[in-house]
Amino acid sequence: MFTQFGTTAESLGKASTMVFRIGTDAHLYDDPDDVSMAPLLDSKFDSEKCEGLKRLLALIAQGIDVSSYFPQVVKNVATQSLEVKKLVYLYLLHYAEKRPSETLLSINYFQKDLGDPNPLVRAWALRAMAGIRLHVIAPIVMMAVEKCARDPSVYVRKCAAIALPKLHDLRLEENTTAIEEIVGMLLKDNSPGVVGAAAAAFASICPNNLSLIAKNYKRLCEILPDVEEWGQIVLTGILLRYVIAKHGLVKESIMLVYNDLVKHDSEKEEMEPQIATREIPYGINGDIHTEIVDIVSKSYLEGPDKYLSQLCHINQDSLVLDDSCITSAKSNDDVKILLQCTLPLLWSYNSAVVMAAAGVHWIMAPKEDIYKIVKPLLFLLRSSSSSKYVVFGSLF
């Protein structure tokens, strides 16, 4: 009786699984190599071509090399079927870096698709061209990116921004200026999606060329709340670096005020002869700024990766802020607009966005306004355990 019941349960389980998989492509993963691919790829019917291409992609997902079908797949890129063309581009993108020489065979098709009326096709063609890691076609890819950066479609312009770091990684020194000009042009875009991708390209290609940010600072601040979440994180860091590089730290911020209080307490404990023989650097209003403040400022001015990696070789006596490195949040319009545009980000569903916005207010907001970041940080404590360590570290 129990054996029969177990058999029935197993049969029901298989049946329910089959019903669940009806209408999906899950069957492609059940021995997908039991079908001859060549007749499907050479078929006159788009439905059979789709079936063959999907089976190839299923094999790729399982780690099987199916590059032997490359010639048969490439010739289908000229099809009029969007579904077939999309699957062909997915296949080509997978092998673009692994087999760049073979991918070159389809470069003429890519260039032709860049003029297709459908923006999806233009974007797919650009993505495939940018995925070919060969210097020999770099000028062609450069022209394609320049063309797509001015495309009327938002999606195509976003793909152009995403392609820029790949083009820059080829170390084309002669095209560096042209690439940075395209980055600056995309930063002026009216679409938040394009601006987010352009910000990521800026951070990867020319993070120290803050003149590109200076031309669009206010508009970037205004568009920041509408940028996608991961773009907000990158753009927030860029805007903060720009403000510190141009105006310096805020004298009313809790960071500077706290260090001044520590300084005054330590001065009382020091003996007068020691003070007389010690060289003391003075900042604004005679306040002594501790090394931690100098490190924060210089890390934003020179870039955190570059500066912190060289920190152990830097003479600590040079870590001094002068009057030009200090500003006021109450009179500086750039600081005001940055604090205002990052306020909505404090209530983002993305914990990284909240931390980025909270960092801006911790460094640049007056101490009487620092309470605005407390509740958002406390809400983050309800999220994942990994986020709690970051939040506790920022609070203490």
Exposure on the CB side of residue 300, measured as CA atoms within 13 A: 24
Percent over 70 (pLDDT), the chain: 70
Q: Which of 155, 217, 200, 206 is nearest to 179 (CA)?
A: 206
CB atoms within 10 A of CB 40: 20
| Mean pLDDT, residues 319-337 | 71
- SS3 for 114? coil
Q: Using an 8 Å Cβ cutoff, are 165 and 204 in contact?
A: yes
pLDDT band at 184 (very low <50, low <70, confident <90, very high): very high
| Mean pLDDT, residues 339-346 | 94
| Phi, psi (degrees; rounded to nearest 5) at 331 | -115, -10
Counting every residue written for the chain, the total comes to 396
Cα angle value 124/127/131 (rounded, 5°): 140
pLDDT tens-digit profile of 225-255? 999 999 999 999 999 999 988 888 888 877 6
pLDDT band at 9 (very low <50, low <70, confident <90, very high): low
Phi-psi region of 289 (alpha: psi -120 to 50; beta: other; left: phi over 0): beta
Burial class, 46, CB count within 10 angstroms (exposed 0-12 / middle 13-18 / buried 19+) = middle
Does the pLDDT value for residue 392 go beyond 90?
Answer: no
pLDDT tens-digit profile of 189-206? 999 999 999 999 999 999
Q: Using an 8 Å Cβ cutoff, are 158 and 191 in contact?
A: yes
Beta bridge partners of 51: none
pLDDT at residue number 317? 40
Residue with tokens 């389809």: 106
Phi-psi region of 285 (alpha: psi -120 to 50; beta: other; left: phi over 0): left
pLDDT tens-digit profile of 258-314? 555 444 444 444 544 443 333 333 333 434 345 555 555 555 555 555 544 443 333
pTM of the model: 0.76
pLDDT at residue number 280? 32
